[in-house]
Amino acid sequence: MTEPAARERVLSGIQPSGASHLGNYLGAQVNYVALQDQFDAIYAIVDFHALTTVHDGALLRKLTHEMVLDLLAVGLDPKKCALIRQSDLPEHAELSWIFNTVVPVAWAERTPTYKEKREDGVENSMGLLDYPVLQAADIAIYKASRVPVGKDQAAHLELSREIVRAFNRRYGPIFPEPQPVFSDAPVVLGTDGQKKMSKSANNTIPIFAEPDEVRRIVQKMVTDPLRIKRTDPGRPEVCNVCQLHRFFGSDYLQIQDGERTARTGCVETKQLLAERIIEFFRPMREERARLAADPGHVEEVLAAGAAKVRPILEATMAEVHAATGIGPRGAIG
């Protein structure tokens, strides 16, 4: 009998720095769910990363718990994939340090998200600069070859590939080069209509917010700034409300036409969008409430996830120790 071929491994991380939002869902979470059936999939709640923006221990723990609920509710099945908390596996940080010694500072400094986050007011810490190096370690430690991420992460993935190439050049071919897996969504803009929707930019539509909260947030969205009066024609290509309709109904071209010809007003277009978002996420919101009622479930899922991935990570770290000379001479040293 021939052995079944090993499945390719997928890894992606999400920060527990706030509630899951439309950008997270459309850019990444849809693919997390799709890929768990075909691949050996690992999804990490990256709490080490979140320390760059969340500076309250009790809050970080709460947000981590909430993010696990979010991921289960959007459809991740712990029987099919491993859901892990990064800090349960501190070797991520160890490998990140080792990568730091092969990464020129200029590579980290030129990362676009580093600049964007500083503009959003995120403290310019070493951790913020080092963020993509830790991300490369998260992926490499499991030798993951595919990474479902939003298109905002394209530059980080390119950097991850450069980092593993630099490591492999110095120490030998240990790591595969990871490839991004993108969804159909472009980088989703925030409620300001200007910047990328992001927890750190405070411009999100949280997917599990209560219906009235979604209505309130959508109603305040910035639309076409040149459409001042109800009778002015709108420009759907610059109106984020019109752009978001694309994901919540097959009639978005008609909706966009209504705006362009001033047949419809921004208020109605927003009301319709809010109702469609609420309906779309209703079953997931209900599932999330059901899961949240079992207080022990999240920690059980995380413990099972850590146990599942630990042997993979230990095998990689044994190779890394042997190649770099860290620690005692091991079996393969």
Give the binding range for ligand ADP (CB under 6 A) out of 14-22, 57-65, 81-89, 159-167. Answer: 14-22
Q: Is residue 264 close enough to count as binding ligand ADP by CB under 6 A? A: no
What is the rounded distance in angstroms from the CA atom of residue 64 to the CA atom of residue 61? 5
Q: Is residue 198 close enough to count as binding ligand ADP by CB under 6 A? A: yes
Q: Is residue 146 close enough to count as binding ligand ADP by CB under 6 A? A: no
Nearer to ligand ADP, 196 or 288 (CB): 196
Residue of 199, 245, 288, 321 that binds ligand ADP (CB under 6 A): 199
Q: Rg (Cα) of the chain, in Å, rounded? A: 21
Q: Is residue 86 close enough to count as binding ligand ADP by CB under 6 A? A: no
What is the rounded distance in angstroms from the CA atom of residue 122 to the CA atom of residue 119? 7
Nearer to ligand ADP, 24 or 316 (CB): 24
Q: Is residue 191 close enough to count as binding ligand ADP by CB under 6 A? A: no
Task: Please report how close the Cβ of residue 117 comes to ligand ADP at its closest, in angstroms.
Answer: 9
Q: Is residue 187 close enough to count as binding ligand ADP by CB under 6 A? A: yes
Task: Please report how close the Cβ of residue 205 comes to ligand ADP at its closest, in angstroms.
Answer: 10
# residues contacting ligand ADP (CB under 6 A): 20
CB 205 within 8 A of CB 243: no
Name residues whose C-beta falls within 8 Å of residue 146's C-beta, 6 or more positions apart in sequence: 8, 9, 10, 11, 35, 39, 178, 179, 180, 181
Residue of 152, 164, 203, 206 that binds ligand ADP (CB under 6 A): 152
What is the rounded distance in angstroms from the CA atom of residue 177 to the CA atom of residue 161? 5
Helices 57-74 and 297-324, packing angle to 10 deg = 100
Q: How far apart are the first and last CA of the chain?
A: 33
Q: Of 23, 25, 12, which is closest to residue 74 (Cα–Cα)?
A: 25
Q: Is residue 45 close enough to count as binding ligand ADP by CB under 6 A? A: no
Task: Using CB under 6 A, list all residues that contact ligand ADP.
Answer: 12, 14-15, 17, 23-24, 27-28, 149-150, 152-153, 185, 187-188, 196-200
